[in-house]
């Protein structure tokens, strides 16, 4: 994490999202120092663990740590269906209640919760929230303190994308924008994301939707990719920045993810 922070600072990237497990590898004090030393602020904090029995205590720890890092929002992933469970409707009703409990912890800490809808193929094991519409419905029910992060990888296929991004923007709940690309063929659902421009997503069009909906935050590069993980981090950042420049017009809007 400290290397990536330095590499980002050298390229004038001033916003990152952080992962708890990356912080653990260097220790909290060193991670905080590296960020401060390079004048880098934290946008998203990853993450609140899936909603399994007893998870609230761990969630409280993550939220408190996110606050110490000055994060803007904390990602929550609900988890998929419990083992042996086939009642998706019930699972979805349950996450609404759990998010309510999380909000009670997050609000006094001044932390916002971020729902990131994931691709429907991850509904079974990662999260039962698989569309921006569902995320919007949840936010509407739960009220202030919870918003949505749009990751192109998970939502590019959705025919309601334009109206749902607009809906989220009108309610002031767009918290973040993750970019990467969908490769053809995709060899692995979690670890074969493409570099922006190498796949089939109309990134400029989704960026336009975000801006029209009032989102003014950074474009966050998030590349879960065995291929890119194997390369020199400096090279990955340079390619990512140059693609951002081509597609989104300007590096000043770029941010990155410490696990990318």
C-alpha 233/C-alpha 239 separation (Å) is 10
- CB of 222: closest distance to Zn ion in angstroms? 5
Nearer to Zn ion, 145 or 176 (CB): 176
Nearer to Zn ion, 145 or 255 (CB): 255
Nearer to Zn ion, 32 or 49 (CB): 49
Binding mask 214-233 for Zn ion (x = CB under 5 A): --------x-----------
- CB of 73: closest distance to Zn ion in angstroms? 12
Binding of residue 181 to Zn ion (CB under 5 A): no
Stretches 106-114, 133-141, 148-156, 243-251: which one binds Zn ion (CB under 5 A)?
148-156
- CB of 127: closest distance to Zn ion in angstroms? 11
Burial class of residue 187, CB neighbours in 10 A (0-12, 13-18, 19+): exposed
Nearer to Zn ion, 50 or 100 (CB): 50
Q: Of 195, 186, 208, 205, which Cα lies nearest the Cα of 244?
A: 195
- Angstrom CA distances, 124 to 88, 91, 129, 131, 232, stand at 9, 11, 10, 14, 34
Could you give the dihedral angle defined by the CA atoms of residues 104, 106, 109 and 111, in that order, rounded to the nearest 10 degrees? Answer: -150
The structure tokens listed for 129 are 């929230």
Binding of residue 72 to Zn ion (CB under 5 A): no
Count, residues near Zn ion per rule CB under 5 A: 3
Binding of residue 178 to Zn ion (CB under 5 A): yes
Q: Of 211, 187, 207, which Cα lies nearest the Cα of 197?
A: 207
- CB of 65: closest distance to Zn ion in angstroms? 20
Nearer to Zn ion, 151 or 181 (CB): 151
C-alpha 178/C-alpha 154 separation (Å) is 10
H/E element, 146: strand 146-151
Stretches 26-34, 53-61, 171-179, 234-242: which one binds Zn ion (CB under 5 A)?
171-179
Q: Which of 62, 72, 98, 151 binds Zn ion (CB under 5 A)?
A: 151
Nearer to Zn ion, 112 or 178 (CB): 178
**Alpha helices (H) along the chain:** 2-10, 20-26, 28-37, 55-68, 88-109, 132-142, 152-155, 161-170, 203-212, 226-229, 233-248
- CB of 75: closest distance to Zn ion in angstroms? 8
- CB of 101: closest distance to Zn ion in angstroms? 24
Q: Of 145, 101, 154, which Cα lies nearest the Cα of 127?
A: 154
H/E element, 177: strand 174-179
Nearer to Zn ion, 207 or 222 (CB): 222
C-alpha 213/C-alpha 217 separation (Å) is 12
- CB of 155: closest distance to Zn ion in angstroms? 10
Stretches 36-44, 86-94, 172-180, 199-207: which one binds Zn ion (CB under 5 A)?
172-180
Q: Do the Cβ atoms of 28 and 57 come closer than 8 Å?
A: no
Q: Which residues bind Zn ion (CB under 5 A)?
A: 151, 178, 222
């Amino acid at each position: 994490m400290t290397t990536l922070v330095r590499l980002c600072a050298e390229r004038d990237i001033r916003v990152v999202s952080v992962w708890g497990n990356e912080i653990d590898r260097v220790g909290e004090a060193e991670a905080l120092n590296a960020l401060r030393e390079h004048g880098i602020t934290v946008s998203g904090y990853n993450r609140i663990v899936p909603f399994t029995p007893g998870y609230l205590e761990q969630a409280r720890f993550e939220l408190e740590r996110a606050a110490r890092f000055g994060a803007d929002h904390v990602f929550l992933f609900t988890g998929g269906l419990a083992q042996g469970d086939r009642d998706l409707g019930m699972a979805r009703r349950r996450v609404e209640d759990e998010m309510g409990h999380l909000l009670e912890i997050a609000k006094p800490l001044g932390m916002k919760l971020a729902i990131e809808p994931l691709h429907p193929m991850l509904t079974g094991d990662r999260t039962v929230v698989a569309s921006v519409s569902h995320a919007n419905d949840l936010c509407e029910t739960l009220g202030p303190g919870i918003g949505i992060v749009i990751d192109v990888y998970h939502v590019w296929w959705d025919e309601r994308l334009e109206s749902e991004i607009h809906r989220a923007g009108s309610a002031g709940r767009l918290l973040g924008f993750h970019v990467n690309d969908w490769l053809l063929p995709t060899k692995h659902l979690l670890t074969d994301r493409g570099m922006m421009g190498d796949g089939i997503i109309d990134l400029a069009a989704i960026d336009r939707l975000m801006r029209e909906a009032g989102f003014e935050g950074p474009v966050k590069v998030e590349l879960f990719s065995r291929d890119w993980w194997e390369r020199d981090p400096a090279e990955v950042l340079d390619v990512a920045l140059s693609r951002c420049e081509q597609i989104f017009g300007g590096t000043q809007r770029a941010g990155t993810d410490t696990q990318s």
